[in-house]
Amino acid sequence: MTAHTMTTYDRVLALLDGAGCGYREVTHRAEGRTDLASLLRGHPLHQSAKSIVLRVALGRKRSAYVLTVVPGDRRVDLAAAARTAGGARADFADRETAERLTGCVSGAIVPFSFDPRLRLVVDPELLEQDEIWFNAARLDRSLAMSPRTYAEVARPLFAAVAEPPRHTTVTPVAAPGGR
């Protein structure tokens, strides 16, 4: 199989195996939502590596694409991603473009770029985890590995592109008939 005929799933495994990386592969029910995939895999949401393709406006009729990777419990900071890519504004890439650039269906985008038009930018908070999880270019397969090993193999640009955590407060409600 050549690089042109390999699926993204095959390319990821070949990359990791070729680098001699330790990783675990898990098969599960097909799921593309980060929160639900984390439940299926049995790990905290913040250990997920959520991968999102952005279109960054660089200037008049010029744009670039960035694959941002943030902890699963966080959202991408579009303004920070735009600044990191040297642009004025960032938006989510349309599904067709994201799938074409990554070779993955939406919901299964891997935190690796095999396309030179897609710059890989990872939030450094992912390195604070003991282990990170991500869909393996398939909705029914996931990989787990050390974030340090991931960084050595993926060789991303590290930049703070995740929004600060959202803290939700729960307001107690009195029980019916209670005080």
pLDDT, tens digit (0-9, with 9 covering 90-100), for 2-35: 555 799 999 999 999 999 999 999 999 999 999 9
The rounded percent of the chain whose pLDDT value lies above 90 is 86
| Coarse DSSP helix, strand, coil percentages of the chain, rounded to the nearest 5 percent | 30, 25, 45
Query: Which residues contact residue 79 at a Cβ distance below 8 angstroms, ignoring those fewer than 6 apart?
Result: 90
The verdict on residue 166 lying in a domain is: no
Task: Count up the domains in the chain and report the number.
Answer: 1
CATH code (residue 119):
3.90.960.10
pTM over 0.75: yes
The verdict on residue 169 lying in a domain is: no
